[in-house]
Amino acid sequence: MSARTRRQKAALAEESDSPSNGSVSPSKRSPSKRARSAARDAPKENIFLFTPNLIGYTRVVLTFASLYYMPLHPRTCSFLYTVSCLLDGLDGYAARYFNQSTTFGAVLDMVTDRCTTACLLVFLSSAWPRWAIVFQALISLDMASHYMHMYATLSMGGSSQSHKKVDPTRSWIMYQYYTNKAVLFVCCALNEAFFIGLYLLSFSSPILSPSLLQPVSDGASAQPGNPAHPEPASLFSSPWSAGALEMARANKLESTWPWIITGIAFPVMAFKQFVNVVQMVNASKWLAEGDLKTRRANLKK
């Protein structure tokens, strides 16, 4: 090939790559242009329709259904609530299987867990007013520890940091709790099982609910909840009246299995509350470290 021919080919190649020709080779595009081009070519995805998020929406629906049946239908409520809790383990598996782990999904999962447990504890507070302060304290601890932990993770670890990614040097207990899937599942499942057991005992145990055994004297009106109580519909026209809980207790449940569930789950529930305390303390320390770094940086300016 002659030198003239080579020069002609080189000139043609330069013209094809020049802006005036309207086309630029991918290798000569700027990084920002390449990124925009890749974004245009990438398939469109709807985060809200990812499989784990659809499972999360199903949990929300089941939770609302269980709350609807909670005052009067303990069997139906317990079934729906249990299915919702079991799906909590399925959405994480689906996120890993389909490679659909998202920040929205993580927040949705945590918010659903916290609200579901809080609603059940609110009902237990109304069932046993004497112990209401205990249930209120459990709600506050659960909400505060998880909120502070997630906020500390996002603000100190970065927006892409998962709240389940715990540095073992900060807390060995928290590291085992979040990284060992078996430990996490057992703790969450039995924690919920304990409260479900208490819920069933509010309908079945005369030891915890003495009104279930209140005697009926001649000429006296029956106490709501007593097996000799008149037909509930004749006393309360609305199922959501103040006596709804006692009306439901008139249809007594067998208390054997609720006692067994509660007894087995109690140690794990207690451990879960201990983990919540550790989580809140560690999150507080992490946030305080960030505050100190910020103050030192401001003083140097």
- CATH number, domain of 64, equals 1.20.120
* Overall average pLDDT of the 55-66 stretch: 96
Residue 63: predicted pLDDT: 95
Range of the domain at 266: 47-205+255-286
Query: Which whole-number Å values give the CA distances from 95 to 50, 53, 73, 110, in the listed order?
Result: 8, 9, 34, 14
Q: 168 lies in a domain? A: yes
Q: 301 lies in a domain? A: no
| Burial group, residue 209, by CB count within 10 angstroms (0-12, 13-18, 19+) | buried
Question: For residue 285, what are its two tokens?
Answer: 């320390």
Q: 121 lies in a domain? A: yes
- Give one DSSP letter per residue of 108-177, joined into a string: HHHHHHHHHHHHHHHHHHHH-GGGHHHHHHHHHHHHHHHHHHHHHHHHHH-TT--TT---TTT-HHHHHH
Residue 89: predicted pLDDT: 85
Q: What is the pLDDT of residues 73-115, one digit of tens each?
A: 899 999 999 999 999 889 888 998 999 988 899 889 999 999 9
Residue 5: predicted pLDDT: 57
Q: 212 lies in a domain? A: no
Instruction: List all residues 6 or more positions away from 213 whose beta carbon is below 8 Å from its beta carbon.
Output: 206, 226
Q: What is the pTM of this model?
A: 0.75
Mean of pLDDT over the chain: 80
Q: 270 lies in a domain? A: yes
* Overall average pLDDT of the 128-132 stretch: 91
Q: Is the pLDDT of residue 227 over 70?
A: no
Q: 128 lies in a domain? A: yes
Q: 66 lies in a domain? A: yes
With cut-offs at 50, 70 and 90, classify the pLDDT of residue 68: very high
Residue 67: predicted pLDDT: 93
Q: What is the pLDDT of residues 235-277, one digit of tens each?
A: 444 555 545 555 555 556 788 999 999 999 999 999 999 999 9
Residue 181: predicted pLDDT: 86
Least confident piece of the model among 17-26, 174-183, 260-269: 17-26
Residue 159: predicted pLDDT: 61
Residue 168: predicted pLDDT: 82
Residue 281: predicted pLDDT: 94
Question: For residue 150, what are its two tokens?
Answer: 């997630």
Q: Is the pLDDT of residue 59 over 50?
A: yes
Q: Is the pLDDT of residue 232 over 80?
A: no
Between CA 157 and CA 268 the distance in angstroms is 29
Between CA 196 and CA 120 the distance in angstroms is 8
Instruction: List all residues 6 or more positions away from 225 whose beta carbon is below 8 Å from its beta carbon.
Output: 209, 211, 212, 214, 246, 247, 249, 250
Q: What percent of the chain is predicted at pLDDT more than 70?
A: 70
Q: 181 lies in a domain? A: yes
Number of domains in the chain: 1
Tokens 């819920």 belong to residue: 199
* Overall average pLDDT of the 274-282 stretch: 95
The amino acid present at 229, given as its one-letter code, is H
Between CA 239 and CA 257 the distance in angstroms is 27
Q: Which residues are catalytic?
A: 113
